[in-house]
């Protein structure tokens, strides 16, 4: 005879074990979801910042704490000294004044007025050989390759556009007001085209150095060009950074930039084109730390589900097969040929279950 208290305890233990298993599964699932917000590559819109805790030192005054080194700018050495006009008589009573009783110094940093535009006539010498008839041209090194704007003006307009982030309308307006060189927004756009062609050899040199590098860090992000979705690719090495904007987010961009026979190590996230690219050339592919954590958590959850599924399948495999045989033949004994067929069917069933597990 079984004790009623023992039965109640067994039932309580069984319920607690079921609840414990359920809570463990829920904990694993929540950790997997939380990993999306703890990754170093999580965008700012999805980050979960912790709530700031109040300082235990009481009220905090604005500014940096006491004892922090100051950041006041040092007074530079003056390049010129300007003296005021001397006063000969007192402003109060009109008595004559002698030498100043005190000389104060107030060092001020000032910028000079923008220099007016300078119009230069560059001469070009062309020579014709009297022996073979070929032409030889001599040009000054400061003469721009094309157009009527000098190199300094081209660089200044490009910096206003891409460093100061000004639209072409304000670039053209600023060039007219600051330097006295009127231009239209279309001309400012064409100036950037000239500068890009001027710097193209250096761009290709950076691409060659990245292709020859041993380790390259690659990442991409969305970028709209005229309202159309593009992708901004960034290839970084220890010394160089190359930025590429393309419509594609696939392997073609990697092959175009790094070449089809890249011989280094690619450090990137888990986006599908990266392993496809490194798999085609059979080179090393190193994933980032955030992606590696996500993969490990996912593998851990899959392994747990696979183990539970394997235990349940192994337990019910014989029962299921017996049920199938009973449903097909009832209480009849199958023929010897049918028995061999059932043996083959059982082996296939075990193989399928093994593959699924």
**pLDDT (tens digit per residue) in 209-230:** 999 998 899 999 998 888 899 9
Instruction: Measure the CA dihedral 37/42/46/52, to 10°.
Output: 70
pLDDT digits (tens, 9 = 90+) for 301-326: 666 655 655 555 554 455 555 555 55
* pLDDT band per the 50, 70, 90 thresholds, residue 41: low
Give the pLDDT of residue 42.
59
**How far from each other are the two terminal CA atoms of the chain, in whole angstroms?**
42
3-state secondary structure 149-193: CCHHHHHHHHHHHHCCCCCHHHHHHHHHHHHCCCCCHHHHHHHHH
Reply yes or no on whether the pLDDT at 329 is more than 80: no
Give the pLDDT of residue 356.
37
**Mean predicted confidence (pLDDT) in 123-141:** 85
Reply yes or no on whether the pLDDT at 109 is more than 60: yes
The ranges assigned to domains in the chain are: 124-198, 213-287, 293-356
Q: What is the mean pLDDT of the chain?
A: 77
For residues 234 and 52, the model is more confident at 234
Query: What percentage of the chain carries pLDDT values higher than 70?
Result: 69
CATH superfamily name and code, 213-287? Ribonuclease H-like superfamily/Ribonuclease H (3.30.420.10)
* pLDDT band per the 50, 70, 90 thresholds, residue 186: very high
- pTM, two decimals, is 0.51
**Three-state DSSP class for residue 205:** helix
């Amino acid at each position: 005879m079984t004790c009623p208290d023992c039965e109640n305890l067994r039932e309580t233990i069984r319920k607690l074990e079921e609840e414990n298993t359920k809570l463990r599964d829920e904990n694993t699932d929540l950790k997997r979801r939380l990993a999306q917000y703890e990754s170093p590559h999580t965008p700012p819109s999805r980050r979960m910042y912790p709530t700031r805790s109040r300082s235990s030192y009481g009220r905090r005054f604005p500014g940096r704490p006491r004892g922090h080194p100051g950041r006041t700018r040092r007074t530079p050495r003056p390049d010129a000294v300007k003296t005021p006009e001397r006063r000969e008589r007192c402003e109060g009573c009109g008595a004559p004044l002698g030498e100043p009783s005190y000389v104060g110094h107030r060092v001020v940093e000032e910028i000079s007025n923008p220099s007016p535009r300078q119009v230069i006539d560059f001469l070009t010498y062309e020579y014709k050989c009297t022996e073979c008839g070929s032409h030889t041209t001599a040009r000054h090194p400061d003469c721009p390759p094309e157009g009527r704007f000098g190199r300094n003006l081209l660089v200044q307009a490009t910096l206003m556009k891409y460093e100061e982030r000004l639209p072409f309308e304000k670039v053209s307006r600023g060039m007219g007001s600051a330097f006295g060189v009127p231009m239209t927004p279309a001309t400012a756009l064409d100036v950037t085209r000239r500068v890009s062609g001027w710097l193209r050899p250096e761009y290709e040199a950076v691409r060659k150095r990245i292709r020859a590098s041993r380790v390259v860090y690659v990442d991409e992000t969305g970028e709209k060009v005229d309202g159309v979705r593009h992708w901004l690719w960034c290839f970084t090495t220890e010394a160089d950074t190359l930025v590429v904007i393309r419509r594609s987010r696939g392997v073609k961009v990697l092959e175009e930039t790094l070449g089809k026979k890249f011989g280094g190590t690619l450090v990137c996230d888990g986006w599908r084109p990266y392993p496809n690219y490194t798999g085609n050339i059979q080179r090393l592919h190193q994933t980032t730390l955030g992606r590696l954590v996500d993969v490990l958590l996912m593998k851990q959850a899959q392994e747990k589900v696979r183990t539970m599924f394997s235990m349940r399948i192994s337990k019910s495999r014989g029962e299921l097969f017996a049920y199938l045989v009973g449903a097909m033949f009832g209480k009849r004994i199958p023929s010897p040929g049918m028995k061999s067929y059932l043996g083959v069917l059982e082996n296939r069933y075990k193989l399928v279950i093994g593959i699924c597990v």
